[in-house]
Amino acid sequence: MERIVSYQRLLQQQIERIAAGTPGHGEIETVALCDREQDQYQYQVLQLGWDGDRRVFTVLVHARIKEGRIWIERDGTAEGLASLLVAGGVPADAIVLAFYPAWKRAYTDFAAVS
């Protein structure tokens, strides 16, 4: 359980850090969402607003803790959430790049679970 608590803390720190950045154009707000209730442990960064006359609503990052690992469902950051987590002390085999199909995960440096 201590490991999960440290993953929660680190994920929240990184999500808040990512959300603190702002796009260089348009009137776009970046919002961090962290749901730790009922063992869901969902973390998201949303970008919403307007870029000229175009509506922006994007899930920039979505990660969750599932089965004792961090599952990154979406990562639209330049630096890569997985790299930030590894730099923060999370072992690579505790991170699942869920945005790749299961067969492709075996070719990454991260967990290859399905």
Give all domains of the chain, ordered by start, each with its CATH number: 2-105 (3.30.310.110)
CA-wise closest residue to 88 among 14, 36, 1: 14
C-alpha 110/C-alpha 100 separation (Å) is: 11
Mean per-residue pLDDT over the chain, rounded: 90
pLDDT of residue 38: 63
Please give the structure tokens belonging to residue 78.
Answer: 């330049």
pLDDT at residue 15 greater than cutoff 80: yes
Which pair of structure tokens corresponds to residue 84? 């930030």
Residues, the chain, total? Answer: 114
Q: Among 15-19, 38-42, 49-53, which is the least confidently predicted range? A: 38-42
Question: Taking residues 82-107, what's their average pLDDT?
Answer: 95
Q: Exposed, middle or buried, 25 (CB in 10 Å: 0-12/13-18/19+)?
A: exposed
- Give dist(CA 72, CA 81) in Å, integer: 8
Distance CA 73, CA 1 (A): 22
If you average pLDDT over residues 80-108, what whole number do you get? 95
* Contact between 104 and 113 (Cβ < 8 Å): no
pTM for this prediction:
0.89
Residue 40 pLDDT greater than 70, yes or no: no
* Residue 2 pLDDT > 80: yes
Which pLDDT score, from 0 to 100, does residue 97 have?
Answer: 97
The answer, yes or no, to whether residue 24 has pLDDT greater than 80, is: no
